[in-house]
Structure 1
Amino acid sequence: MARLSGLQKEVLRLYRKCLRECRKKPEATRAHFKAFARTEFEKNIKVDKRDFSAIEFLLRKGSRQLEMYASPGVKDIR
Structure 2
Amino acid sequence: MLGVRLDSELEERLAAVARTQGRSKSDIAREAVRRYVERHDEAFLAEARRQSLAAADHDRHAGEEDWDALIGAPPA
TM-score by length of 2: 0.30
Between 1 and 2, higher relative CO (CA 8 Å, sep ≥ 6) is seen in 1
Bigger fraction of residues in helix:
2
In our comparison, the structure showing a higher alpha carbon Rg is 2
